[in-house]
Chain A
Amino acid sequence: MRLIKRAPREQKKGRKVAVIGAGPAGLYAAGWLASEGYTVELIDMLPEPGGLLACGIPDLRMEKVNLREAVGELRGLGVAFRLGTKVGENVELEELIEGHDATLIATGAWQSRKLNVDGEGLAGVYSALEYLVDYTLARHSHDGEPPALSGGIVLVVGGGLSAVDACYVAREAGAAQVVWYYRRGEEQAPAREAEPEAFRLLTEQVDFHPLTQPVSFIGAGGKLTAVKAVRMRLGSKDASGRPRPIPIEGSEFERRIDYALVAAGEIATAPPGAVECGIEVADETALRTKGVVITNEVTIPVESSESGGPLQYVSIPRERAVRAKGSTSPRAAIKVDGRYRTTRRGVFAAGNVIDGPTQAGFAIVEGVMAAVAIKDYLETDQWPAEPYGGVYEWQELLFG
């Protein structure tokens, strides 16, 4: 992992870029821009840079040493970090946009979906993402303790990779028993689709119940004590192309649990105030029907001269999909064009905040692509009203 170019420019260009969100998209963008001589300020609400890469993916699945080293190099190049700073709370978005020549929004997908069942507000019911992040931050010796799961019966709800991580971490945190409910069949679980072998192994180690869904959480004195759940059967295909889970009447049952980690998916999160700043945010239904955005042509930027003159763009047939995985339902996904421009002049967006949850690779590549677009904008001062089509394709020379 390397965030900065091999031969970064020593000289500063005297132009300032704000990067909001220090996840992979923001970090790679910051590194690329700083290497080009821009003055970069990275703002993040967490006490540690790295986004979900650092605090979402559990340490037991990924060592964070490489990430820390790369971030160290970034600091060495003069990138300023404003950590523990939430945009929309501790500082206004408008203020950042006004105070910089360009702004990149890379705030990811942090809003967890709810099950929308009774008792979801009881103490002991957490969103898996929230729990995983708190757990890892505490492991990294930051303030705040995650709730102790040790000795308890922990219910994990969901079928994706976050549910898998919630199971792993619940076990690591000392849960006496991990129970796992997923509303569709095993064959439909996205986690199985992604990594069948790991999925199989895990289902053997925990008490896994496909075709099971909580209908309410039951508590005593405000504290979770049990779950009421129902068995499901599969019906005809729904909007996602998978068989729809239908509750089986009369199959409700109760089970004693101490904690619940709900992993029902995440939604893209634009910083508060984005809309007021003239940044258009897509509404959920529009994106859901549009589905995956893949164009047949991609535009690659080519440096016109060694001295770094304005970039030229060449269209080539799309071979590898940079954004192969589109967003299915990012409620607050920021709308961008083919060069990661939002609807506000000088403001760009990249990563999960435009795509909804994806694997980190897409965020990484988009971060660099957005950085290239920002450089182009700052050099040409052009902001055409007409949106650019296509998306950039990665070019190895970008990191030369």
Chain B
Amino acid sequence: MPQQTETRTVIVDLERCMACRSCETACAKAHAGYEDIVEAILADAHMVPRVKVIAAAGVAVPIQCQHCEDAPCATVCPSGALSFDEETGEVRSEPARCIGCKACVIVCPFGAVEWSRRTGEIVRCDLCEDLIEEGEEPYCVRACPTGARQVIDLDALAQRKRQEAAQRTVLVMTAKP
């Protein structure tokens, strides 16, 4: 078993998401290297959001890379632009290695990989690895006005869930009929 060394990821509380798309904007401008959206637009910056808020059955669902286990995109990528990190369980991207073959775009079950004509490279959520490593929050999380997007530690999440489950079990066991 590969050892999980990095267990932090972004989760979305769908009940809190109000489809304002702040995450999309923040993601697009930050990855284009801008803080100000107007400046970015004026500079004709190449803005592609890695997260997209999609309406489905009346509910808004932010869709982005799910870092699939045994990710199809990494399986088919012939150039090493997408690869599977056995240690962290993450799909890693090195866009500069992309040869534009688009196999990943075809196979991604979530439509989370795009190919940019302008750069000739793939565009995909990288979980803002650098920021997370420095203990900071990804741009989309920072931009979310309702706190629907959160960085969580999977270990801590599991711990919390165990606690809650234990509590429920105790409640059930001690509940009077």
Contacts and interface: CB of A to CB of B under 8 A. Distances in A.
Nearest to B102: A361
B47 to A, nearest CB: 15
A53 interface: yes
Nearest to B111: A320
A197 B105 CA distance: 21
B105 A361 contact: yes
A400 B70 contact: yes
A194 interface: yes
Given A1-B80, A399-B72, A197 B102 contact: no
Contacts of A53: 78
Contacts of A158: none
A399 B101 CA distance: 19
A57 to B, nearest CB: 6
B11 interface: no
B99 A57 contact: yes
Interface stretch (A60-68, A275-283, A286-294, A340-348): A60-68
A399 B103 contact: no
Interface in A277-330: 320, 322
A399 B99 contact: no
Given A53-B78, A66-B80, A197-B119, A361 B104 contact: yes
B120 interface: yes
B76 interface: yes
A393 to B, nearest CB: 9
Contacts of A24: 78
A197 B120 contact: yes
B75 A399 contact: yes
Given A6-B70, A396-B68, A196 B99 contact: no
B120 A365 contact: no
A294 to B, nearest CB: 13
B77 interface: yes
Nearest to A359: B101
Contact of A320 (B68, B74, B83, B106): B106
A123 interface: no
The contact size tier of chain B is 20 to 34
B105 to A, nearest CB: 7
B89 interface: no
B118 A365 contact: no
Nearest to A3: B75
B76 A396 contact: no
A198 interface: yes
A361 B117 contact: no
Interface residues of A, number: 31
B16 interface: no
A198 B120 contact: yes
Contact of A399 (B70, B78, B102): B70
Interface in B134-173: none
A2 interface: yes
A14 to B, nearest CB: 27
Contacts of A167: none
Nearest to A193: B117
Contacts of A362: 102-103, 106
Contacts of B119: 197
B64 interface: no
B101 A364 contact: yes
Contacts of B117: 193-196
Interface string A166-207: 000000000000000000000000000111111000000000
Contact of A396 (B79, B97, B109): B109
Contacts of A394: 72, 106-107
A322 B83 CA distance: 22
A2 B72 CA distance: 9
Interface of B: 68, 70, 72, 74-80, 83, 97, 99-107, 109, 111, 117-120
Given A2-B74, A195-B100, A362-B102, 13 more contacts: A1-B77, A1-B79, A66-B83, A194-B100, A195-B120, A197-B118, A320-B106, A361-B105, A364-B76, A365-B103, A365-B107, A396-B107, A399-B70
Interface of A: 1-2, 6, 24, 28, 53, 57, 61-63, 65-67, 193-198, 320, 322, 359-362, 364-365, 394, 396, 399-400
23 contacts: A1-B76, A1-B77, A1-B79, A2-B74, A28-B76, A62-B99, A63-B79, A63-B80, A66-B83, A67-B78, A193-B117, A195-B120, A196-B117, A197-B118, A198-B120, A320-B105, A360-B99, A361-B103, A361-B104, A364-B101, A396-B107, A399-B72, A399-B75
| Cβ-closest 8 pairs across A and B | A361-B103, A360-B101, A361-B102, A361-B101, A195-B120, A66-B80, A364-B103, A394-B107
